[in-house]
Amino acid sequence: MISLSRRLLAEFLGTALLLSTVVGSGIMGVALSDGNDGLALLANAAATAGMLYVLIVLLGPVSGAHFNPLVSLTLRLRGELSSRDLLAYVVVQIVAAGVGVVLAHAMFDLPWLQPGTHARHGGGQWLSEAVASFGLLLTILLGGEHRPKAIPALVASYIFAAYWFTASTSFANPAVTLARALTQTFAGIRPQDVTGFVMAQLLGTALAWIAYRLLSSSATTGAVK
């Protein structure tokens, strides 16, 4: 059994690197795309998907490579994480996400903390976050059951696609959402829009859990221990 401290270190490093990639690639994409938002989004999506694949392969054997409170919550429901470990994972993920944003700003010589100004609100955005979170969690749950070795590719592929088919560009992660409220760059979100996104993400997670219970051949009642 891997110690909690080692697992939390893996979650911290993975989440921080993920956010530095999300924000940093957004900054670089805008700088090099000459005003072409589509090209900037393509760069942002590709870099994020690529980093996710690497982080899941490297850190999955240590912590499970959650990097997302929604994933940790779902695995708690499945009985694979204790309540104490869930709380520790979520706290570390939130702190690490903020550190990742600061790191990205520092690499590009920007102010370290800058409250987001990118408006992201309304029914379409909230629906997008619910759909993005639903798909991500269902990918992880069913992928883990049917093709566990393919999880890195499955998650990376889903996130790359969800950047493009959702109006919100698929945050699908409360820690990521909170952290992106600390940047005014391409990846940012206004602090006042965070609550709507997180509520939609939780709704998508609940629906994914229900769908998993209906679709899974191994899910049983009373998974939480």
223 in a structural domain: no
Burial (CB count <10 Å: 0-12, 13-18, 19+), residue 101: buried
Percent of the chain surpassing pLDDT 70 = 97
184 in a structural domain: yes
10 in a structural domain: yes
Predicted confidence at residue 220, as pLDDT, reads 53
225 in a structural domain: no
Q: State yes or no: pLDDT of 172 exceeds 60.
A: yes
For the record, the structure tokens of 36 come out as 């072409």
- Between CA 139 and CA 26 the distance in angstroms is 25
CATH number at residue 173: 1.20.1080.10
Question: Cβ contacts of residue 125 below 8 Å, gap of 6+?
Answer: 167, 168, 193, 196, 197, 200
What are the pLDDT digits (tens) for 51-65? 999 999 999 999 999
220 in a structural domain: no
Predicted confidence at residue 90, as pLDDT, reads 98
Instruction: Determine the residue type at 96.
Output: A
67 in a structural domain: yes
Cβ(179)–Cβ(97) below 8 Å: yes
Q: State yes or no: pLDDT of 210 exceeds 80.
A: yes
Domain count across the chain: 1
Local confidence band at 225 (pLDDT 50, 70, 90 cut-offs): very low
Q: State yes or no: pLDDT of 221 exceeds 70.
A: no
- Between CA 198 and CA 193 the distance in angstroms is 9
Give the H/E segment covering residue 74. Answer: helix 69-77
- Between CA 59 and CA 210 the distance in angstroms is 28
194 in a structural domain: yes
What are the pLDDT digits (tens) for 76-94? 999 999 999 999 999 999 9
List the domain range (segments joined by +) for residue 33: 4-215
206 in a structural domain: yes
- Residue-by-residue DSSP string for 133-160: HHHHHHHHHHHHHH-GGGHHHHHHHHHH
